[in-house]
């Protein structure tokens, strides 16, 4: 057996065999953005991994099941703050009925349930979603509000990734009945980021949008054109320059005295 598939099977097999009674681990959570879906809907799966068990490089495995049959499998990178998210679209290949989304992180396993109903021919046609304009530069003390439009009932998954491709955080925003979406809380940069270049990746399961920006320190903004908070008056400037002149004059007088003394000693030596 191919090693890759053997490793994948070893991860997924416990998820297929796990009875519901074990799904009570408090170190991880998993939930969907709704309890019932129709064909064409997007299911937004999200959750949290406790900071006490997060391991660098370890992914969380999600398996969607119905009556023991696997519908979708995904391995998701857990963000720095412990969050993760994943979207999957209900297609015509799915069946109506009850579904389980099961999540595993190491030996920690939990699950959540939802259902899929009959296809409704009156479903709203899919439209491309939009994202608000994002400035190219932010200060560490800034925050970012995200919003836009899209297909009612869909969800937008948002990933914040740094320049080394490290996932910083994941968020999910639902599109309301009139086609608008907004992230419930702004992204506060000094909480999650350092100075550097970042990418925001948006997805609704159909299309992906990537926007990049840079986070900088406030001291780097306009530093070449800074105006002193308390500029000197002309009198203060004169006094400052005159004082420096007096100091230089005193040093000159001291050097001249030393030179004259050396000349006198030299004359004495020459006359001996």
CA–CA–CA angle 6, 11, 14 (5° rounding): 115
Two structure tokens written together for 172: 């999910």
Q: What are phi and psi of 195, to 5 degrees?
A: -70, 135
CATH annotation of 1-121:
2.60.40.1930
Domains 1-121 and 124-226 share a fold: yes
Q: What are phi and psi of 87, to 5 degrees?
A: -120, 145
pLDDT for 188 equals 86
Q: How high does pLDDT run on average in the chain?
A: 78
pLDDT for 8 equals 43
User: Where is average pLDDT lowest: 6-20, 42-56, 181-195?
Assistant: 6-20
pLDDT for 137 equals 92
Is the per-residue pLDDT at 2 higher than 50? no
For the stretch 195-235, pLDDT in tens is 899 999 898 877 889 999 999 987 655 544 554 556 666 55
pLDDT for 106 equals 86
The DSSP code sequence of 140-154 is TT-EE--EEE--TT-
pLDDT for 252 equals 64
Q: Which architecture, in CATH terms, is 124-226?
A: Sandwich (2.60)
204 contacts 42 by C-beta, under 8 angstroms: yes
pLDDT for 107 equals 87
The listed range with the strongest mean pLDDT (126-135, 214-223, 246-255) is 126-135
Strands of the chain (E only): list them: 28-32, 36-37, 42-49, 59-66, 69-77, 83-89, 97-105, 108-116, 137-139, 143-144, 147-149, 155-162, 167-174, 180-182, 187-188, 196-203, 208-216
Is the per-residue pLDDT at 23 higher than 50? no
pLDDT for 159 equals 87
User: Where is average pLDDT lowest: 122-126, 179-183, 194-198?
Assistant: 122-126
Is the per-residue pLDDT at 133 higher than 50? yes
pLDDT for 219 equals 61
For the stretch 102-117, pLDDT in tens is 999 988 999 999 999 8
Mean pLDDT of 13-17: 50
Per-domain residue ranges of the chain: 1-121, 124-226, 232-267
pLDDT for 248 equals 63
The DSSP code sequence of 101-113 is EEEEETTEEEEEE
Is the per-residue pLDDT at 9 higher than 50? no
Share of residues in the chain with pLDDT > 70 (%): 72
pLDDT for 181 equals 93
pLDDT for 125 equals 64
pLDDT for 235 equals 57
Mean pLDDT of 236-258: 63
Mean pLDDT of 74-81: 88
- What is the spatial distance between Cα 165 and Cα 160, in angstroms, rounded to a whole number? 9
pLDDT for 166 equals 84
């Amino acid at each position: 057996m191919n090693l890759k598939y053997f490793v994948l099977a070893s991860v997924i097999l416990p998820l297929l065999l796990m009875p519901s009674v074990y799904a009570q681990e408090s170190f991880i959570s998993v939930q969907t953005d709704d309890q019932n879906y129709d064909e064409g809907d997007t299911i937004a799966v999200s959750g949290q991994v406790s900071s006490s068990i997060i391991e660098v490089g370890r992914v969380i495995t999600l398996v969607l099941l119905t009556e023991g049959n696997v519908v979708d499998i995904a391995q998701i990178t857990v963000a720095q703050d412990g969050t993760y998210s994943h979207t999957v679209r209900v297609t015509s290949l799915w069946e109506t009925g009850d579904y389980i989304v099961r999540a595993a992180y190491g030996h920690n396993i939990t699950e959540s349930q939802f259902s899929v109903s009959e296809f409704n021919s009156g479903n709203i046609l899919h439209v491309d979603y939009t994202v608000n304009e994002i400035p190219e530069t932010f200060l560490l003390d800034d925050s970012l509000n995200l919003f836009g439009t899209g297909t009612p009932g869909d969800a937008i998954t948002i990933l914040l990734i740094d320049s080394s491709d490290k996932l910083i955080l994941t968020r999910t925003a639902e599109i309301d009945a009139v086609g608008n979406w907004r992230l419930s809380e702004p992204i506060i940069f000094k909480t999650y980021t350092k100075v550097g270049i970042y990418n925001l990746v948006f997805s609704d399961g159909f299309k992906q949008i990537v926007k990049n920006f840079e986070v900088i320190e406030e001291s780097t903004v306009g530093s070449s054109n800074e105006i002193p908070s308390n500029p000197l008056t002309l009198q203060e400037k004169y006094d400052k320059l005159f004082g420096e002149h007096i100091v230089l004059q005193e040093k000159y007088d001291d050097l001249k005295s030393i030179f004259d003394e050396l000349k006198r000693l030299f004359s004495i030596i020459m006359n001996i």
